[in-house]
């Protein structure tokens, strides 16, 4: 394949490196340094897609982020990615891309029938056309619309790419490496400021790459290269290409997405695909330039109609002619610059200028080159379906209302320039209230809101000399404030051609009898007529017009369409543009990879994993783990072919008959120290704490201020002013914050310190009738008899040379102890327990057996303390002191909390003693009652009682106190089960609690 | 009147449009994330509050990052899509996470507020019972539970059990 | 992302902090009779101010101190920060 539209002696591409690529199955060639768009254009390919609604043929309109048309499906390294802008995608060897939103092919697209049905698809067509009859929406309209929706196809495969995050701080963050970005970066860098300069394109320099200017006796491009080369050598400067600053957030936090690997055939090993930078900047310089806006005319979406600046960029950066018979349609001098470039490369353009008699140095140059210029002329309509073949042109009256006689001239592209729109997105995102600048018919930033300043074209300054002057000054002054250096920079001499005033003209009127579509938003197919309909139907706010017509809501987010839309609304409404206002600019400026936003927090990395010191032992002994918050805990230890049910039953049974050991390291532990520690506990817990002796533990319940149980646990008095508090695994962090809140803010007079010691102690619960025998062997020098270490007692012991804490506390309801050692000795402790416990038939048990044991004992846990229950509900009212005040006590007086039929914990047994009751089942009186069947309560936890060998559940039941012995139904619509049940005491096993004291 | 309500900020976002992959709304309770696909093909996603009182209608990226992390946990293919548009709105977060539909002690003043961020999905029922409440000047049996004085009596409707920390979503 | 000046540690990003709500809420003293209205105001009712809002944050991933932050809820601008025991004038 030849690159028929590639010309010699122009462009910044590397002609030594030829690359092959495929588009819609056909192989083409391009060069290193091309974009997919430039390479296709070099091969004369103009038809790349179909529009969203009417499926009209679409080509290339721009050369960068503003591109509304050229959205393709990309294939790279065995993966596919939808909605890639061909104008942004750099070419690499083997690239493959396909058109989107067309079927069966871009050349013959069935959806194009919508083009002929377009009378039925006006603005708001989702809201109106398909609403009636109502039933048609689900059955006919929506399935049809949905099938037609969307652009590219999402891969359903796991994303194999890796994305990184980076946090950075700098003195000056500069967005955009055009003349203002380079000048301000250079000045600031010379003052020693820490500078980050970001450029979204692969090449630095912005407009200097394409404009015909001279800075300090060099071409603009050479000057830019020199500056960048020098900046790169400076240690205080980071320059980043392929990096888009897309969001300006609170407190000068900006976020930048760096494309690290998209321009390569594969991502290099250990490299991310993209890198997201969170940058906190002291000062932000926005030098994001401007985007050319189109002039609206008939069929202005035909492939071959494009921005004149894009045509110039394809020519000067990529050495590509977008046509051999160009028509340039302009209302300002920029169109002439494009025409001059064509002429210099041997192509004869025709220039149509809407202005009557403009004069400037640029126009003089065009005239001197012999370019055919027609003043007071406009393009009325483009002709051609899949490519521009000719243009209907006409003269236009001075008031821009009357068209002259329509002539047709042959052309193969129409390069259009409707003047420039400053890129104010970042400034606006910072909170800056923008203002309308009459001279340029566009909005520019107003008063700075955060520490941001906007320079150059982004600020509506379109002369290079002024841009460089203000930018050098801004860079120098802002950096001086920070570094206190003041290095003189001499501003280089600038040679540029002066331009004249643009024409306030943006839309060509329709000729009589013609009904051409005149598009504003090219991807979403929003035409002038759609805006007119929206306004006729009463939409006034620009935000409403936007949503109703979808103007500016496509993947280019209206970069080329918004201002023309505003002009139209203000014209119809007979208002000035600033009175209409613009829609809110919100991040992101350009679409950002969701993978990049998420970064490394995917899969197993999405949250940290916490493991106990005994984790490797559990692994070696066939533990099956369960996530308990961020902790991994053994759920059961698998023997042979056992399943969860069999293993947990075996483990629980062994606790009830012999002795078991459970890793309880994950329990929250808080050291409470200080002379007022007892007073703090007394205020935090519902029960009394002032008289707890040293060496004793006590069970406590703490409430939130609204009277709801927050957490429970045992706290042990280690010494006079030192307590060891335990919390549930889930609430550990919240309880610590809770204590700190009261100590620091509410009762600062209490002399207490709290600190988390969860990770400092490894814990093993030893439970079962033989636990004392085992303990005696583990601590031969300690008196662990019932008298020496009674229930809720505490002592320190020597575990084969390791200092240990021994608590006689029980969650399982059996005679039980908890041994803590410093974390580093956790594994040692565990192995000793297993080794010494062998003769007592010890078995480790996991969380499943632990749950079984506590459920059948009626001990509450997280499923009952679910943030909605008070002490009474959990049969813990005996722990609520009547004498003293404590957190949340006042709330307990509320009528619902003291109601006679208040909900309360009960036990539930299925009548058939066979069917396990799903957790979450509702308890109802009558299983046949009509819906909504009144719910009396819910099953909070279920187990298979190893004591009685039948299912047993706990439930929170309305009037539970008086329901013992009642027969109800447990209903689980989710599992499609209705189970007749009997209500029993929640203390199913050992109701008097004799075992723990034995 | 002081209400048991705080004003918070919720962000949402859409991806670029893609061909249909999802016909329903899917919510991810444990991860706090929801997603549906619009008729245009955009994936509409959201989840957590930004987490501090706000009337600003502008949020910050880490919240969306967190929401999208949960999204990718449920639907890994979302990683390959691009986030096109984000927005932020203000939410009337009640202290038990449920709305208040009630008359007040001031004659002619009725409340229908505290919808947190799930409000519009219950609009027909809320509108119907609210109309009843206004027309008859007494609450309907279906909105009787959504009374303002439940915060005083303790008949709370706190489905998540989070209590009064409205900023934790 | 907010940038909060912890009075103990200096400028830190918001992700080191957890939010604690309206700082003007005062817990009634222990052992003191309070009316239903007073108690409800403490537990539930909030001013939810638009504009200058004094609020609590805890520097949980830093010094673990609770601090007071004066912030504009309409713009997110932070004016001043205070230690837990500092009087806000």
Task: Give the tens place of pLDDT for each residue, C31-67.
Answer: 999 999 999 999 999 999 999 999 999 999 999 999 9
The more confident residue out of A552 and A376 is A376
Q: What is the mean pLDDT of residues A129-138?
A: 54
Chain B residues with beta carbon closer than 8 angstroms to that of C44 = 4, 95, 151, 164
Chains that touch A (3 or more CB pairs under 8 A): B, C
Please tell me whether residues B80 and B105 are part of one structural domain: no
Q: Is the pLDDT of residue A134 over 60?
A: no
Residue A501's pLDDT is what? Answer: 94
Extract the tokens encoding A294.
Answer: 């189109």
Kindly determine whether residue A154 and residue B19, on different chains, have CB atoms separated by under 8 Å. Answer: yes
Kindly determine whether residue A251 and residue C76, on different chains, have CB atoms separated by under 8 Å. Answer: yes
C35 and chain B: CB distance < 8 Å anywhere?
Answer: no
Range of the domain at B125: 100-153
Q: Which candidate from A250, A683, A741 shows the least CB-CB separation from C2?
A: A250
- What count of other Cβ atoms lies within 10 Å of the Cβ of residue C71? 24
Please tell me whether residues A315 and A386 are part of one structural domain: yes
Please tell me whether residues A148 and A248 are part of one structural domain: no
Please tell me whether residues A781 and A831 are part of one structural domain: yes
Task: Give the span between the Cα atoms of B34 and B28, in whole angstroms.
Answer: 6
Please tell me whether residues A908 and A923 are part of one structural domain: yes
Kindly determine whether residue C31 and residue A885, on different chains, have CB atoms separated by under 8 Å. Answer: yes
Provide the terminal-to-terminal Cα distance of chain B, rounded to the nearest Å: 25
Q: How many domains, in total, are found in chain B?
A: 2
Kindly determine whether residue B152 and residue A126, on different chains, have CB atoms separated by under 8 Å. Answer: no
Please tell me whether residues B70 and B25 are part of one structural domain: yes
Please tell me whether residues A814 and A943 are part of one structural domain: no
Chain C residues with beta carbon closer than 8 angstroms to that of B97 = none
Please tell me whether residues B22 and B70 are part of one structural domain: yes
Q: Which candidate from B40, B73, B164 shows the least CB-CB separation from A606?
A: B73
Extract the tokens encoding A32.
Answer: 């290193």
Cα B111 to Cα B119, B137, B152: the distances in Å are 14, 12, 16
Q: What is the mean pLDDT of residues A579-598?
A: 91
Residue A123 lies in a domain: yes
Burial class (CB in 10 A: 0-12, 13-18, 19+), A946: buried
Residue A706's closest chain C neighbor by CA?
A: C43
Chain A residues with beta carbon closer than 8 angstroms to that of C20 = 741
Residue A629 lies in a domain: no
Range of the domain at A942: 899-990
Q: Is the pLDDT of residue A103 over 70?
A: no
Chain A residues with beta carbon closer than 8 angstroms to that of B17 = 52, 83, 149-151, 555
Chains that touch C (3 or more CB pairs under 8 A): A, B
Kindly determine whether residue A253 and residue C76, on different chains, have CB atoms separated by under 8 Å. Answer: no
Q: What are phi and psi of C53, to 5 degrees?
A: -135, 125
Residue A285 lies in a domain: yes
Q: Which of C83, C76, C74, C27 is nearest to C56 (CA)?
A: C83
Task: Give the span between the Cα atoms of A913 and A906, in whole angstroms.
Answer: 17
| Structural contact between residues A470 and A477, judged by C-beta atoms closer than 8 angstroms | no
Q: What share of chain A has pLDDT > 90, as a percent?
A: 83
- Tell me how close the Cα of B103 comes to any Cα of chain C, in angstroms: 18
Last residue of a domain, one of A132, A160, A188: A160
Q: At A22, which CATH number?
A: 3.10.20.440
Range of the domain at C66: 3-24+38-83
DSSP-based three-state secondary structure for A331: coil
Q: Is the pLDDT of residue A443 over 70?
A: yes
Contacts of A326 (CB under 8 A, 6+ apart): A311, A338, A339, A342, A347, A349, A350, A411, A412, A413, A414, A415
Task: Give the span between the Cα atoms of A45 and A30, in whole angstroms.
Answer: 12
Kindly determine whether residue A159 and residue B76, on different chains, have CB atoms separated by under 8 Å. Answer: yes
Residue C32 lies in a domain: no
Chain A residues with beta carbon closer than 8 angstroms to that of B67 = none
Taking only the tens place, the pLDDT of each residue in A1-18 is: 479 999 988 899 999 999
Residue B68's closest chain A neighbor by CA?
A: A598
Please tell me whether residues B61 and B112 are part of one structural domain: no
Q: Give the confidence band of A539 by pLDDT, cuts at 50, 70, 90.
A: confident
Please tell me whether residues A243 and A124 are part of one structural domain: no
Contacts of A921 (CB under 8 A, 6+ apart): A938, A939, A970, A971, A972, A975, A977, A979
Q: What is the mean pLDDT of residues B147-160?
A: 94
Q: Give the confidence band of A69 by pLDDT, cuts at 50, 70, 90.
A: confident
The more confident residue out of A627 and A50 is A627
Residue B44 lies in a domain: yes
Residue A617 lies in a domain: no
Q: Is the pLDDT of residue A717 over 90?
A: yes
Task: Give the span between the Cα atoms of A969 and B32, in whole angstroms.
Answer: 32
Residue A537's pLDDT is what? Answer: 87
Residue C88 lies in a domain: no
Please tell me whether residues B81 and B112 are part of one structural domain: no
Contacts of B135 (CB under 8 A, 6+ apart): none
Kindly determine whether residue A741 and residue C43, on different chains, have CB atoms separated by under 8 Å. Answer: no
- Tell me how close the Cα of C1 comes to any Cα of chain B, in angstroms: 5
Q: Which of residues 419-458 of A touch C (CB under 8 A)?
A: 431
Q: What share of chain A has pLDDT > 70, as a percent?
A: 95
Residue A101's pLDDT is what? Answer: 66
Task: Give the span between the Cα atoms of A840 and A834, in whole angstroms.
Answer: 10
Please tell me whether residues A654 and A726 are part of one structural domain: no
**Dihedral, CA atoms, A711, A716, A722, A726, nearest 10 degrees?**
-30
Last residue of a domain, one of A810, A839, A863: A863
Contacts of B169 (CB under 8 A, 6+ apart): B32, B47, B48, B49, B51, B117
Residue B125 lies in a domain: yes
Q: Which candidate from C1, C58, C84 shows the least CB-CB separation from A250?
A: C1
Q: How many domains, in total, are found in chain A?
A: 7
What is the rounded average pLDDT for all residues in chain A? 93
Chain B residues with beta carbon closer than 8 angstroms to that of C48 = 3, 5-7, 53
Chain B residues with beta carbon closer than 8 angstroms to that of A868 = 156, 158, 161
Please tell me whether residues A128 and A65 are part of one structural domain: yes
A737 and chain C: CB distance < 8 Å anywhere?
Answer: yes
DSSP A916: P
Among B11, B14, B17, which would you mutate to test the A interface (most chain A Cβ atoms within 10 Å of its Cβ)?
A: B17
Chain B residues with beta carbon closer than 8 angstroms to that of A707 = 154
B147 and chain C: CB distance < 8 Å anywhere?
Answer: no
Chain C residues with beta carbon closer than 8 angstroms to that of B6 = 21-22, 46, 48
B56 and chain C: CB distance < 8 Å anywhere?
Answer: yes
Please tell me whether residues B116 and B75 are part of one structural domain: no
Kindly determine whether residue B53 and residue C73, on different chains, have CB atoms separated by under 8 Å. Answer: yes
Cα A738 to Cα A865, A934, C65: the distances in Å are 17, 37, 12
Residue A887's closest chain C neighbor by CA?
A: C30
Taking only the tens place, the pLDDT of each residue in A157-215 is: 889 999 999 999 999 999 999 999 999 999 999 999 999 999 999 999 999 999 999 99
Q: Which candidate from C1, C44, C71 shows the least CB-CB separation from B60?
A: C1
Taking only the tens place, the pLDDT of each residue in B9-56 is: 999 999 999 999 998 899 998 888 999 998 888 999 999 999 999 999
Q: Which of A978, A916, A979 is nearest to A953 (CA)?
A: A916
Residue A263's pLDDT is what? Answer: 97
Q: At C79, which CATH number?
A: 3.30.2270.10
Kindly determine whether residue B61 and residue A894, on different chains, have CB atoms separated by under 8 Å. Answer: no
Extract the tokens encoding A893.
Answer: 């007086």
Extract the tokens encoding C6.
Answer: 């912890």
Cα C27 to Cα A49, A746, C31, C44: the distances in Å are 65, 7, 12, 12
Please tell me whether residues B20 and B54 are part of one structural domain: yes
Q: How many domains, in total, are found in chain C?
A: 1
Least confident range from A53-57, A381-385, B85-89: namely A53-57
Q: Which candidate from A161, A706, A894 shows the least CB-CB separation from B164?
A: A706
- Whole-model pTM: value is 0.93
C49 and chain B: CB distance < 8 Å anywhere?
Answer: yes
Kindly determine whether residue B5 and residue C46, on different chains, have CB atoms separated by under 8 Å. Answer: yes
Contacts of A468 (CB under 8 A, 6+ apart): A179, A180, A183, A215, A491, A492, A494
Query: Is it true that the peptide bond before A104 is cis, omega within 30 degrees of 0?
Result: yes
Task: Give the span between the Cα atoms of C50 and A623, in whole angstroms.
Answer: 54
Q: What is the mean pLDDT of residues B75-84?
A: 94
Q: Is the pLDDT of residue A583 over 90?
A: no
Among C35, C48, C75, which would you mutate to test the B interface (most chain B Cβ atoms within 10 Å of its Cβ)?
A: C48
Residue B60's closest chain C neighbor by CA?
A: C1
Residue A343 lies in a domain: yes
C48 and chain B: CB distance < 8 Å anywhere?
Answer: yes
Q: Is the pLDDT of residue A119 over 80?
A: no
Please tell me whether residues B46 and B86 are part of one structural domain: yes
């Amino acid at each position: 394949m030849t690159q028929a539209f590639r010309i010699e002696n122009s462009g910044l591409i590397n002609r030594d490196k030829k690359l092959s690529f495929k588009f819609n199955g056909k192989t083409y060639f391009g060069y290193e340094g091309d974009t997919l768009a430039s390479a296709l254009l070099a091969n004369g390919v103009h038809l790349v897609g179909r529009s969203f609604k009417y499926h009209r043929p679409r080509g290339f309109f721009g050369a960068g982020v503003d591109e509304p048309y050229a959205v393709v499906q990309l294939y790279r390294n065995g993966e596919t990615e939808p909605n890639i802008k061909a104008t942004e995608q750099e070419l690499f060897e083997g690239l493959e891309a396909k058109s989107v939103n067309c079927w069966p092919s871009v050349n013959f697209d069935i959806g194009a029938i919508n083009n002929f049905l377009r009378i039925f698809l006006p603005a708001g067509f989702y809201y109106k056309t398909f609403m009636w009859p109502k039933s048609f929406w689900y059955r006919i309209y929506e399935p049809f619309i949905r099938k037609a929706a969307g652009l590219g196809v999402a891969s359903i495969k796991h994303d194999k790419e890796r994305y990184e995050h980076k946090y950075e701080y700098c003195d000056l963050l500069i967005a955009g490496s055009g003349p203002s970005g380079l000048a301000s970066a250079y000045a600031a860098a010379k003052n020693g400021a820490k500078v980050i300069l970001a450029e979204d394109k692969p090449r630095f320099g912005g407009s200097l790459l394409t404009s015909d200017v001279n800075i300090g006796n060099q071409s603009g491009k050479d000057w830019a290269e020199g500056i960048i080369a020098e900046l790169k050598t400076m240690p205080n400067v980071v320059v980043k290409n392929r990096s888009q600053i897309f969001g300006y957030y609170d407190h000068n936090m900006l976020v930048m997405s760096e494309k690290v690997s998209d321009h390569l055939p594969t991502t290099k090993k250990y490299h991310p695909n993209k890198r997201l930078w969170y940058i906190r900047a002291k000062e932000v310089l926005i030098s994001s330039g401007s985007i050319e806006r189109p002039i609206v005319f008939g069929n202005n979406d035909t492939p071959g109609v494009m921005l004149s600046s894009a045509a110039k960029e394809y020519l000067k950066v990529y050495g590509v002619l977008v046509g051999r018979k160009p028509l340039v349609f302009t209302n300002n001098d920029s169109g002439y610059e494009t025409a001059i470039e064509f002429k210099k490369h041997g192509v004869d353009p025709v220039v149509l200028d809407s202005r009557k008699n403009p004069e400037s140095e640029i126009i003089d140059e065009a005239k001197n080159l012999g370019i055919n210029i027609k003043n007071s002329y406009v393009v009325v309509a483009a002709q051609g379906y899949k490519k521009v073949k000719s243009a209907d042109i006409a003269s236009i009256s001075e008031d821009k209302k009357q068209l002259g006689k329509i002539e047709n001239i042959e052309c193969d592209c129409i390069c259009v320039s409707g003047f420039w729109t400053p890129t104010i997105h970042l400034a606006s995102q910072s909170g800056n209230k923008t203002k309308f600048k009459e001279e340029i018919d566009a909005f520019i930033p107003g008063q700075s809101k955060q520490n941001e300043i906007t320079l150059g074209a982004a600020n509506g300054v379109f002369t290079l000399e002024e841009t460089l002057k203000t930018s050098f000054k801004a860079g120098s002054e802002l950096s001086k404030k920070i570094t206190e250096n003041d290095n003189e920079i001499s501003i280089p001499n600038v040679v540029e051609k002066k331009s004249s005033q643009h024409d306030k003209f943006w839309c060509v009127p329709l000729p009589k009898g013609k009904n051409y579509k005149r598009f504003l938003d090219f991807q979403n197919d929003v035409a002038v007529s759609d805006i007119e309909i929206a306004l006729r139907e009463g939409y006034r706010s620009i935000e409403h017009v936007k949503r109703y017509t979808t103007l500016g809501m496509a993947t280019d987010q209206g970069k080329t369409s918004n201002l023309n839309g505003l002009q139209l609304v203000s014209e119809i409404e007979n208002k000035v543009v600033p009175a209409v206002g613009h829609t809110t600019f919100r991040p992101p400026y350009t679409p950002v990879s969701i993978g990049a936003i998420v970064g490394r927090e995917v899969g197993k990395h999405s949250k940290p994993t916490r493991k106990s010191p005994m984790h490797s032992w559990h692994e070696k002994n066939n533990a099956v783990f369960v996530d308990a918050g961020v902790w991994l805990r053994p759920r059961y230890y698998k023997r042979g072919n056992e399943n969860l049910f069999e293993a947990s039953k075996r483990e629980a049974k062994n606790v009830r008959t012999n002795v078991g050991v459970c890793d309880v390291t994950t329990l929250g532990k808080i050291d409470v120290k200080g002379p007022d520690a007892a007073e703090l506990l007394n205020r935090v817990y519902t029960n009394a704490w002032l008289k707890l002796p040293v060496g004793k533990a006590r069970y406590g319940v703490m409430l939130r201020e609204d009277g709801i149980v927050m957490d429970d646990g045992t706290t042990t008095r280690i010494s006079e002013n030192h307590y060891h508090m335990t919390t549930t695994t889930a609430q550990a962090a919240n309880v610590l914050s809770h204590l700190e809140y009261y100590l620091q803010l509410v009762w600062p007079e209490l002399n207490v310190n709290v600190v988390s010691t969860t990770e400092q102690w490894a814990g093993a619960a030893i439970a079962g009738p033989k636990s004392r025998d085992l303990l005696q062997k583990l601590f031969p020098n300690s008196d662990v008899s019932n008298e020496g270490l009674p229930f809720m007692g505490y002592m320190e012991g020597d575990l084969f040379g390791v200092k240990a804490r021994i608590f006689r506390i029980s969650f399982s309801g059996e005679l039980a102890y908890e041994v803590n050692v410093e974390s580093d000795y956790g594994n040692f402790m565990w192995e000793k327990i297993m080794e010494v416990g062998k003769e007592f038939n010890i078995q480790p048990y996991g969380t499943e057996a632990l749950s079984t044991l506590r459920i059948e004992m009626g001990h509450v846990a997280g499923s009952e303390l679910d943030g909605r229950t008070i002490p009474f509900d959990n049969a813990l009212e005996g722990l609520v002191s009547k004498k003293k005040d404590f957190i949340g006590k006042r709330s307990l007086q509320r009528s619902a909390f003291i109601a006679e039929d208040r909900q309360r914990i009960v036990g539930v047994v299925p009548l058939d003693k066979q069917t396990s009751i799903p957790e979450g089942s509702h308890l109802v009186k009558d299983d046949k009652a009509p819906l909504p069947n009144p719910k009396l309560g819910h099953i909070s936890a279920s187990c298979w009682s190893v004591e009685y060998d039948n299912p047993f559940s706990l439930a929170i039941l309305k009037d539970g106190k008086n329901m013992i012995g009642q027969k109800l139904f447990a209903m689980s619509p989710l599992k499609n089960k209705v189970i007749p049940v009997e209500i029993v005491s929640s203390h199913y096993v050992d109701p008097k609690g004799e075992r723990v004291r034995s | 009147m002081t209400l048991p309500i705080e004003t918070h900020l919720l962000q949402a976002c859409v991806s670029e449009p893609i061909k249909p992959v999802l016909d329903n709304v899917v919510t991810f309770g444990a991860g706090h994330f929801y997603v549906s696909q619009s008729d245009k093909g955009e994936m509409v996603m959201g989840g957590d509050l930004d987490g501090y009182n706000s009337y600003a209608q502008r949020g910050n990226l880490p919240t969306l990052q967190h929401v999208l992390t949960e999204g990718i946990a449920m639907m890994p293919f979302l990683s390959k899509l691009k986030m096109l548009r984000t927005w932020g709105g203000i939410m009337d977060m009640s202290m038990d996470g449920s709305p208040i539909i009630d008359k007040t002690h001031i004659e002619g003043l009725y409340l229908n507020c505290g919808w947190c961020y799930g409000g519009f999905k219950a609009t027909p029922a809320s509108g119907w019972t609210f109309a009843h409440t206004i027309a008859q000047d007494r609450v309907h049996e279906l909105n009787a539970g959504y009374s303002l004085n439940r915060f005083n009596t303790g008949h709370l409707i706190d489905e998540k059990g989070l209590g009064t920390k409205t900023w934790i979503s | 992302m907010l940038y909060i000046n912890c009075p103990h540690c200096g400028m830190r990003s918001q992700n080191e902090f957890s939010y604690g709500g309206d700082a003007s809420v005062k817990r009634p003293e222990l052992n003191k009779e309070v009316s239903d209205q007073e108690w409800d105001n403490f537990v539930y009712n909030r001013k939810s101010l638009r504009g200058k809002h004094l609020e609590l944050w805890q520097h949980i991933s830093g010094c673990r101190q609770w601090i007071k932050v004066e912030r504009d809820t309409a713009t997110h601008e932070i004016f001043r920060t205070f230690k837990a025991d500092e009087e806000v004038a």
